[in-house]
Amino acid sequence: MAITATHPLDLPRQHLFWIFHSAGWLGYFGQSWLAAIAYGKPSGYWIVPFTAACTGFVVTLGLRYLLRACWGLSPRKLLMTMILPILASSAVMDLTTRTMLVRFCDTCAPTSRVAYIAYSLTYIYVVLAWVGLYLGIKYYRQLQDETQRALAARTMAHQAQLKMLRYQLNPHFLFNTLNAISTLVLDRDNATANRMVQGLSSFLRHSLDNDPMQRVTLRQELDALTLYLDIEKIRFAERLRIETDIDEDCWRALLPSLLLQPLVENAIKYAVAKQIAGGLLRIEAERDGGQLVLRVIDDGPGCTSLEGNQLPPGKGVGLRNTRERLNVLYGEDSSFAVRNRERGIEVELRLPFETKQLGGD
C-alpha cells in the first residue's frame, strides 16, 4: 500500500492546533526542566516548570478564543485589544508558578507592589511567542485558503474560456458548410448534397462528443480532420489536393482537440476556393527539441495585408481563435506565426512536445 507524506500545515485545523499547542507547552516544560537540572536544582523542582506549562496551556486557550473572536479587526485594533489579555496571562502564569517556586526559594516571594508588577511580566515573552506563532500559522492558513480560492477561480475561468473558444469553431464551420449544401441543392445536385450532409453529421457528432478540455494525439487530430476534409473533397473534388509530412515520433504528441481544423478551413476558403484550378493543402509536423512544430501550408495567392508574421486587425477569426487557445493553454511556451511564402501562406504553431503517459505506479 502506497504511503503519502502529509505536510503538517495540511492537517485539519483543529488537529493542527492541538498538536502544536500540546507539543509547544510540552517542549517548554522539557526545556525548563533540563535548564533546572543544569543549574543544580533539587529533584522535586520539576513541579515549577510543570505548573508554568500547565497554566500556560490553559491561559493561552483563552487567548486563542479571544483572537478568533477579534480576527476581523484591523492589525492595529487587534494589537490594542490583545495588550491587556497578554499581560494578564503572564501575571496568571507567574502567580501560579511562584506559589510553587517559593517552596524552593525563600527570597523569590514578592515583598512589594512593584515586585508583584515586575514578577507579573516574567512570562510575557513566553505568551508573546505563543501569540506570534498562533498568528503566523493562522495568517499562513488564511493566505493558503485565499491562494487556493484564487487558483480555483482562475482554473474555472480558464476552462470556461477554452470551452468558449472551442465551441466557437462549430458555428463558424457549420455556416460555411451549410452554405455549400444550400448551393448544391439549388443546383439540384441532390446526391452530392446528401453525401455532404452525411459527412457533416459525422464530423459534428465527433466534434460534440469530444470533450473540449481533453487533449488528443496528433493521430487522433488528423483522423478527426479527415472527417472535415471528406466534406471538402465532395465540394472541390480534384481541385483540392492534400499532402501530409508527419515525423514518426509526432504521431503520439498531444495537442488541443480540433486545433488544426480552423487553419485548414481557412486555407481552403482563401487559397483553394479562390482559384479556378484549386490548390494544394499541406500539413507538416516535426519535433524541434522539446517543442512540437505544426505547419499548415497552401499555394494560394497569399495575404498582402499581413503585418510581419501576424494578422492585421479584423482578419482571420479561425486563426485568431487558434492563437488564443494556444496562449490560454501554454502561455509563453507556445508561439503562433503566419507568413507569406513565395506562393501561398504558411501558418506555424509551436507548443510543448508532450505525450500520453501510459500506466502508472
Among the listed ranges 124-133, 161-170, 310-319, which one has the minimum average pLDDT value? Answer: 161-170
User: What mean pLDDT do residues 16-21 have?
Assistant: 86
| Residues 98 and 109: beta-carbon distance below 8 Å | yes
Q: Phi-psi region for residue 258, left (φ > 0), alpha (ψ -120 to 50) or beta?
A: left
Give the percent of the chain with pLDDT over 90: 28
> With bands split at pLDDT 50, 70 and 90, how would you rate the model's confidence at 1?
very low
With contact defined as beta carbons under 8 Å apart, do 338 and 311 qualify?
yes
The β-bridge partners of 104 are none
pLDDT at 253 over 90: yes
Q: Over the stretch 109-129, which tens digit does the pLDDT of each residue have? A: 777 778 878 888 888 999 999
Report the alpha-carbon distance of residue 242 to residue 154 in Å, rounded.
Answer: 40
Distance between alpha carbon 80 and the CA centroid of its chain, in Å? 39
- Over residues 239-251, the mean pLDDT reads 93
Q: What was the pLDDT predicted at 114?
A: 81
CA distance 260 to 276: 25
User: At a CB cut-off of 8 Å and minimum separation 6, what does 114 contact?
Assistant: none
Q: Is the pLDDT assigned to residue 180 strictly greater than 50?
A: yes
d(CA 135, CA 61): 14
pLDDT at 98 exceeding the cut of 70: yes
Which set of grid coordinates corresponds to residue 204?
A: 459534428
Q: Which of 145-154, 234-243, 298-307 has the highest mean pLDDT?
A: 234-243
Q: pTM for the full model?
A: 0.53
The three-state (H, E, C) secondary structure of the chain, written as one string:
CCCCCCCHHHCCHHHHHHHHHHHHHHHHHHHHHHHHHHCCCCHHHHHHHHHHHHHHHHHHHHHHHHHHHCCCCCHHHHHHHHHHHHHHHHHHHHHHHHHHHCCCCHHHCCCCHHHHHHHHCCCHHHHHHHHHHHHHHHHHHHHHHHHHHHHHHHHHHHHHHHHHHHHHHHHHHHHHHHHHHHHHHHCCCHHHHHHHHHHHHHHHHHHHHCCCCCEEEHHHHHHHHHHHHHHHHHHHHHHEEEEEEECHHHCCEEEECCCCHHHHHHHHHHHHCCCCCCEEEEEEEEEECCEEEEEEEECCCCCCCCECCECCCCCCHHHHHHHHHHHHHHHHHCEEEEEECCCCEEEEEEEECCECCCCCC
327-359 pLDDT per residue, tens: 878 888 999 999 988 889 999 999 999 997 644
CA distance linking residue 86 with residue 60, whole number of Å: 9
